[in-house]
Amino acid sequence: MIRIHGTARSRAFRCLWAAGESGLPFEHLDHGASRSPEFLRLNPAGKIPAMEDGSLVLFESLAINLHIARKAGAPLWPAGDDASRALQWTLWAATEAEPHVLAWGFNTYARPEAERDAAAAAKARAQLLPRLDVLEGALPGRPFLLGEEFTIADCNLAGVLYAAWRHGFDLSAHPRAKAWLDRCLERPAARAARALRE
């Protein structure tokens, strides 16, 4: 049984979504105390989420998702070269998209209003836009990143972009990316994970 530790109002959201897509049995443990000795045994850094799958313990949400997808198999874990493309999009999500999504979010809605920095929000938005151009260019003629079927590549990148989508980042210049995000984040498993988070 896969056990996902962490509140859904965190990156654990992505793991709950992936687990829902997988069809595998899983348990969600939202015990809150990420600095407890029990949790530090799972992740010495004291950050959520963490996952247990038998004797395997993982932290880092996107790595957890790759494990879940690989365990579930197709279509969530694609075959052949598409498995490498799923890794590419997962790493791209973490390195190219997430830093700017976080900086925009902190300075737009997450921090108390008095602590927000409008210039930092504008800079993060400007830095995210060319990344969205890349995503827009990857989507013509296909509903999902790798083709006709939803895979872990979509789950991981859409999970990273979720907060921007949810909190009104202007996607009007990127209609294919917006339609793709809508398609991903309205899936039943995504809606179930969103219900826990929202």
Domain boundaries, the chain: 2-72, 81-197
The pLDDT of 177-189, averaged and rounded, is 98
CATH of 81-197, one of 1.20.1050.10, 3.20.80.10, 1.10.287.130, 2.60.40.10: 1.20.1050.10
The pLDDT of 15-34, averaged and rounded, is 90
Task: Indicate if the pLDDT at residue 34 is higher than 80.
Answer: no
Tokens of 23: 């069809």
Tokens of 176: 């294919």
The pLDDT of 172-178, averaged and rounded, is 97
Task: Indicate if the pLDDT at residue 168 is higher than 80.
Answer: yes
pLDDT at 161: 98
The single residue listed with the structure tokens 């365990």 is 71
Helical pair 118-138 and 98-105, crossing angle rounded to 10 deg: 140
The neighbouring-strand residues paired with 144 are: 147
Tokens of 128: 């995210």
Residue 144 is given by DSSP the state B
CATH of 2-72, one of 2.60.40.60, 3.40.50.720, 3.40.30.10, 3.40.1670.10: 3.40.30.10
> 6: phi > 0 → left, psi -120 to 50 → alpha, else beta; which?
left
pLDDT at 33: 59
pLDDT at 36: 80
Task: Indicate if the pLDDT at residue 2 is higher than 80.
Answer: yes
The pLDDT of 182-186, averaged and rounded, is 98
What is the distance between the alpha carbons of residues 151 and 143, in angstroms, rounded to a whole number?
Answer: 11
Percent of the chain at pLDDT exceeding 70: 98
Q: What does the pLDDT look like over 75-111, one tens digit per residue? A: 999 999 999 999 999 999 999 999 999 999 999 999 9
pLDDT at 46: 86
Statement: the pTM of the whole predicted model exceeds 0.75: yes
- CA-closest candidate to residue 143, choices 154, 133, 134: 154
pLDDT at 69: 98
Task: Indicate if the pLDDT at residue 32 is higher than 70.
Answer: no
The pLDDT of 147-163, averaged and rounded, is 98
Q: With the CA atoms of 117, 119, 123 and 129 taken in that order, what torsion angle do they form, in degrees rounded to the nearest 10?
A: 90
Task: Indicate if the pLDDT at residue 172 is higher than 90.
Answer: yes
pLDDT at 95: 98
pLDDT at 41: 87
